[in-house]
Structure formats: structure tokens, C-alpha cells
């Protein structure tokens, strides 16, 4: 992982592996995952246990709306990654979203006025075939005012 100034920020900040287990096998139909403690409903995950923390900062207080997160082929936002199954959720959600391409993106909560907005996202990616996967990237989009 690199920061906006090109420095390697990954030392000691290894993303947490959140393994998809079930779309609806948990309590009340919740999705389930394993992030190191065994199989649990995803609404039990904490911010610190999420795979990604995405921070949107601004020089003044703004409101963010219509934020979405998804994986795509790295070229065309509407195109799902090639041969990779991607499941994602925002901390606090009860179910995974198959976030493959902009048309099936994970909707993120709107944030009230602040200079920094943090999104905590659990992500599980599984290969659908054997071999190297090169057509793959994550994207987040939002509106702010």
C-alpha cells in the first residue's frame, strides 16, 4: 500500500483477511465470515477488524453522499474482475454484497459534516479459476458538498 506521497505505509498495517463463509446462514439470515476468530455473523466485526479503512479528507467540513465501493477489471468500472468472486460489506451491515462492477456496488453510509470521513469495509475475494489474476482493482466513488 502506498500513501499519496508515494511512501510505503504497509509495514505493520497488513489488511485483515475477512473470509466469506455464508450469505445468509447466520442469526436472522445474517451473512457470516471468519476474520480470525472462527465463523461469526458479519455485524459482529469491529472497525479495527475490517479489511479496509478508506479515509476521505477535505480542507473544510463536507457531507458525503452516494458513496459506493466495488471491484472491477481495472479498466472499465462497469466490468467485473475476471475470474474473481468479490463479496464486501460496510462495518455495521448484516449481509455481504457481491460488489463486482459499478452496477452491483456496495452502497456506503452517508456521512455528516466533517473534514475526514472514514469507511470501514470488509472484503473477501476468491479466485474462480486457477492462475494469475491481473484484471482486478477496487474503486470507491462518492459525492461531497
pLDDT in tens, 72-120: 999 999 999 999 999 999 999 999 999 999 999 999 999 887 888 899 9
Beta strands, E only, 4-109: 19-22, 32-34, 39-41, 52-72, 84-90, 97-98, 106-107
Which residues make Cβ contacts (< 8 Å) with residue 86, sequence separation at least 6?
70, 71, 80, 98, 99, 100, 123, 124, 125
Q: What is the mean pLDDT of the chain?
A: 90
Looking at residue 11, its pLDDT comes to: 58
Amino acid at each position: 500500500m502506498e500513501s499519496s506521497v508515494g511512501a510505503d505505509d504497509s509495514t505493520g498495517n497488513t489488511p485483515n483477511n475477512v473470509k466469506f463463509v455464508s450469505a445468509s446462514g447466520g442469526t436472522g439470515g445474517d451473512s457470516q465470515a471468519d476474520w480470525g476468530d472462527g465463523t461469526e455473523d458479519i455485524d459482529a466485526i469491529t472497525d479495527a477488524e475490517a479489511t479496509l479503512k478508506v479515509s476521505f479528507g477535505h480542507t473544510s467540513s463536507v457531507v458525503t453522499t452516494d458513496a459506493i465501493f466495488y471491484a472491477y477489471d481495472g479498466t472499465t468500472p462497469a466490468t467485473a474482475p475476471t475470474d474473481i468472486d468479490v463479496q464486501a460489506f460496510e462495518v455495521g451491515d448484516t449481509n455481504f454484497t457481491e460488489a463486482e462492477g459499478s452496477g452491483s456496488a456496495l452502497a456506503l453510509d452517508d456521512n455528516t459534516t466533517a473534514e475526514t470521513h472514514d469507511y470501514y469495509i470488509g472484503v473477501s475475494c476468491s479466485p474462480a479459476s486457477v492462475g494469475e489474476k491481473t484484471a482486478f482493482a477496487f474503486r470507491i466513488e462518492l459525492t461531497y458538498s
